[in-house]
Amino acid sequence: MADTQTSRDEDFSPGCSLSDCGVTDKDCAALTSVLRSNPSNLRQLDLSSEKLGDSGVKLISAVLEDPQCKLDTLGLFDCGVTDEGCAALTSALRSNPSHLRELNLSKNKIGKSVSLLSDVLQDPHCKLERLWLSNCGVTDEGCAALTSALRSNPSHLRELNLFGNKIGKSVNLLSDVLQDPHCKLEILWLWDCGVTDEGCAALASALRSNPSHLRELNLAGNKIGNSVNLLSDVLKDPHCKLEKLCLNDCGITDEGCAALTSALRSNPSHLRVLSLSENKIGKSVNLLSDVLQDPHCKLERLQLNRCEITDEGCAALTSALRSNPSHLRGLDLSGNKIGDSLSLLSAVLEDPHCKLEILWLNDCGVTDEGCAVLASALRSNPSHLTELDLIVNNLGQSGVKLLSDLKDDPNNKLETLYY
């Protein structure tokens, strides 16, 4: 997943994106001069991947502290911001805290300044809803300051991204925020944060006591395989509203997958996206298939990249999709050697009730023969699949031609093709 920030707002407020445009300090000075002369119109500014450094951020901060400034979205991903620049930014936000809704500071070395940012968050006038701090060098100390601020002002923040910060020991503190009934956090990313079984237990306990707000939880890259049972208890709760769950590379085994699928069978109607990639759960795909064939299941995206799925598991999966074909929109089976089962998967695709839009079969052992079966299915049901990934497969000239002809067919909806 790319760690860049795009606004989820669906309005048409004025915005300016200069991401990765080679903006210099001189350019930034000219830009901020314009913004100071007319600060009330611009709502969104994205300067991600520009090497603004602290000098550029200080110029931006001068705009933000103007009471006429109405900026609600600011992207500073990978801008070379340090503690000095972050101090200027937070000072500006303290003097004018009520407009900014979305702030992306990911991939800047500002870990020591998280306490200053926390001062902004605990201001009752602060309306920040989305905060991205991935790969910022946030420590347990910084996380403690952050969670303390959220406890004192828990009702505004909707999205928090701490991806790539080693704060596993502080997940207990974050869990205290989640169990606050006033907490409105909907999206939480703790990907590769060093979360352990103990931290996962605290997190699960918090979600059991306050299950109704969190919509998306990302715990990828944390070795919490033994604690999936605890998370499964959360999913069983009828009040749980979790829609997206990412458990990539979490050390989940067949036992953990069994607990997870049991929970989804008892409460199948909320989860829309499930990612179990890079876990050794090939033998448990049959259990997951039982979930998929439940008519109440609303799963729209399923990621099973490099899960050691065999032809037998693929057969169970496709059987389930044939019995309940209308919900799944995206399926990732990359890195599983299922080339011999492509005819079964093709039978799903040619079903007129199938609504699959995205299919990833990267490195699946697909040959020209399998490609022909796949192309035939898509010709018979051309209206849904828009993206197909067949990179790193054994495709010859005949397979490539079949796919190219398919993409060029005006009756087919295939827009993106990788091979």
In a domain, 374, yes or no: yes
In which band, very low, low, confident or very high, does the pLDDT at 2 lie, cut at 50, 70 and 90?
very low
Q: Is residue 416 part of a domain?
A: yes
Range of the domain at 328: 268-419
Q: Which tens digit of pLDDT belongs to each residue from 120-158?
A: 999 999 999 999 999 999 999 999 999 999 999 988 999
Please state, in angstroms and rounded to a whole number, the distance separating the CA atoms of residues 321 and 319: 5
Residues 406 and 413: their CA atoms lie apart, in Å, by 9
Flag whether 48 is in a domain. no
Please report the pLDDT score of residue 5 as a whole number. Answer: 38
Question: Distances in Å between the alpha carbon of 183 and those of 207, 213, 217?
Answer: 11, 8, 15
Q: How confident is the model at residue 3 (pLDDT cuts 50, 70, 90)?
A: very low
Per-residue pLDDT band for 14 (boundaries 50, 70, 90) equals low
C-alpha–C-alpha distance, residues 303 and 232, integer Å: 18
What is the predicted pLDDT for the residue at 232?
A: 94
Question: Is residue 403 situated within a structural domain?
Answer: yes
Query: Would you say residue 382 lies in a domain?
Result: yes
CATH of the domain at 351: 3.80.10.10
Structure tokens at 89: 């930014």
**Is the per-residue pLDDT at 57 higher than 70?**
yes
Q: Which residues contact 2 (CB under 8 A, 6 or more apart)?
A: none
pLDDT tier for residue 41 given thresholds of 50, 70 and 90 = confident
The residue type found at 31 is: L
For the chain, the domain total comes to: 1
Q: Classify residue 354: in a domain, yes or no.
A: yes
Q: Considering the domain boundaries, does residue 384 fall inside one? A: yes
Segment 279-301 shows an average pLDDT of: 93
For 399-417, write each residue's pLDDT tens digit.
Answer: 889 988 988 888 888 999 9
What are the φ and ψ backbone dihedral angles of 302, each rounded to 5 degrees?
Answer: -130, 120
Distance CA 33, CA 321 (A): 57
Is 29 contained in some domain? no
Answer whether 113's CB lies under 8 Å from 83's CB.
Answer: yes
